[in-house]
Amino acid sequence: MYNQEIIEKLGPAFAEAFGEGGAAEAAYYFAPGRANLIGEHIDYNGGHVLPCSLTMGTYAAVRKRPDRVIRFFSLNFPGDGVVCSSLDDLRPLEDHSWTAYIKGVIWALGNRGIELDCGMDMVICGDLPDGAGLSSSASLEVLAGFVIGDLFDLPLAERELAVCCQEAERGYVGVDCGIMDQFACAAGREGCAMVLDTVSLDCRYVPLDFPEIGLVITNTNRKHDLRTSAYNERRQQCAEALEVVRRCGEAPELAERCAEAPEVVRRCGEFQALCDVTPAEFAAMESAFDDPVLLRRARHAIRENGRVRQAAEALKNGQIEALGKLMNESHRSLKEDFEVSCRELDILAETAQELPYVLGSRMMGGGFGGCTISLVRKDALDEFKKTLREVYREQTGIECTFYEASPGGGPAKLTMR
């Protein structure tokens, strides 16, 4: 399950970065990345999502220090060298290095009254491609939280760990993210997808074990960066769309335009999030939107939430073909209503959707680059890769990269051989 090649690199890298004697004292850890089957850009709209944790993820070798210094080295960013800081030098929203995700967790724990009594040395290495939409940042945050919990005897429950890591990304890194990525990385179950209510944080698991179907992630190799993308803009637009919905019950001119559904108008003020609205209710209030952009944003969030519920039921009943059709609908909505796709993602997803051995394909993650996720019959995996590689290279001049994913478990302390 774990990447032994990476694990075997950690000890020598730790010794080189921090001294020979330290490697023998280091403990080893893993935290997964995540793939989201369906339910994109609705975790901050009060909806349900359907992610799974992956067997791909982030690894660390860590030991305590006798002082308050914190030192980091990443095999993924060796050019950065050893990054040194201090527990007394945590600067929210000012730190833009990859170590901000770790220091953000330390900062978030401090906000909860959990103060570390000493620093640590940490070597990091992961097999999640950076900027591909597989939650490499959430994986690193969850890894940091899990390491600290174990190393300092401060065990965090899965839910608390996820919330703390979300707080780190929002308050320290500066990305106004939802809870899905951190929760999926913190609470995964092997062989399962997670149905997560992003408001109550209640979750249940449905089987994602179809021997004849492969889960293939295709990287556009066009990186995205949520700090510089339109992610925060989309979140603000959704908040504005919610205000339109809520005012349908207060503004006479809006109420008149929703007069064909008076029971919906009466409820409008009760909605706390876009995904509190059902698709049928939304159909009755669409005419209240003067701004076509806000209309499209709301339509995606509300209908996508409905698709997640249908997808969870399909998996529960073993109907993998139904999930595939919903994934196709999700991509169309993300492209046309939420406008977070891009040419590269569309080429990959739409080419895949036309292939007879593909059940469904869509963009995954924040958008504007990153990856698609596809359900592919395993006996056609080689043909799938060949076809997409050729089409994508011809139309973009870029080589795409494939990852055959498996649903894995949550973070873990590793036992070394």
Catalytic residues: 181
Q: Are strands 213-219 and 371-377 parallel, antiparallel or unpaired?
A: antiparallel
Q: How far apart are CA 41 and CA 47, in angstroms?
A: 9
CA dihedral over 57, 63, 67, 72, signed as positive or negative: negative
10: its two tokens:
């950690």
Contact 39, 308 (CB under 8 A): yes
Q: How far apart are CA 258 and CA 283, in angstroms?
A: 10
On the 0-12 / 13-18 / 19+ scale of CB atoms within 10 A, 211 is: exposed
Instruction: Identify the CA nearest to 189 among candidates 374, 54, 373, 317.
Output: 54
The H or E element spanning position 124 is strand 120-126
Instruction: Identify the CA nearest to 311 among candidates 45, 48, 134.
Output: 48
Contact 142, 166 (CB under 8 A): no
On the 0-12 / 13-18 / 19+ scale of CB atoms within 10 A, 156 is: buried
CA dihedral over 130, 133, 139, 140, signed as positive or negative: positive
Contact 186, 201 (CB under 8 A): no
